[in-house]
A and B are shown apart, each in its own frame.
Chain A
């Protein structure tokens, strides 16, 4: 597609349930990033993919968070046993290649509310 596509755009879930957030990057972009933005806060880096590989997962807040990317394209961020503090906007971004200087382009985000 023309831009980074994320789904769902909004998700309300009950505490303790699992959620999956999907990201479809710009066609041809090899690098994919997940960030989290809590209400009124800046952007918190979660994880990055180069192709299907995630070299650094240290940004994931806890072991309840996991992410995968398949076919060098679509990525899924999974949050298990959701907690209220997981409520945030989850932003996906992609860039043509990895490394400094590559402009990253963001999707519209998935707004997650845990009740």
Chain B
């Protein structure tokens, strides 16, 4: 069975702090894909990144970076120098080869305080 766990329900940080959102996944597939989505207060889920299971290279996009470690089945997301606009619920998701279902974690609510 596939499963995504986001153990952090809510995180509060002060602006300019760095913050890491954890994502742990379970799958028996050897080929799979991991995603992060951001859901701001407006409600629409915004796609942030997709990573396939064969690419463990970390990725950086501006203040965002992702750390994929197959050894620990984790795909963590770090925001550097957080800003108030980063306040949102962040979802991690998993999709296995040959499946149409995208399994989402329960999300982490990030509050960045000015």
Contact = CB atoms under 8 A, between A and B. Distances in A.
* A and B co-occur in one complex: yes
Contacts, number: 61
A48 B101 contact: yes
Given A42-B107, A48-B100, A100 B33 contact: yes
Contact of B97 (A43, A93, A100): A100
A100 B50 contact: no
A43 B91 contact: yes
Interface string B12-36: 0000000000000000010111010
Interface stretch (B39-47, B57-65, B66-74, B78-86): B39-47
Contact of A107 (B44, B91, B97, B101): B44
Interface residues of A, number: 27
Nearest to B107: A42
Chain A contact residues, majority secondary structure: strand
B52 interface: yes
Given A99-B99, A101-B95, A109-B44, A42 B50 contact: no
B105 A42 contact: yes
Interface in A59-111: 89, 91, 93, 98-109, 111
Nearest to B101: A45
Sort chain B's interface into a size bin.
20 to 34
Contacts of A103: 35, 47, 50
Contacts of B35: 103
Contacts of B29: 100
B75 interface: no
A113 interface: no
Contact of B106 (A35, A41, A89): A41
Contact of B98 (A31, A55, A99, A111): A99
6 contacts: A43-B104, A45-B102, A99-B100, A100-B31, A104-B47, A108-B43
Interface of A: 31, 33, 35, 41-43, 45, 48, 50, 55-56, 89, 91, 93, 98-109, 111
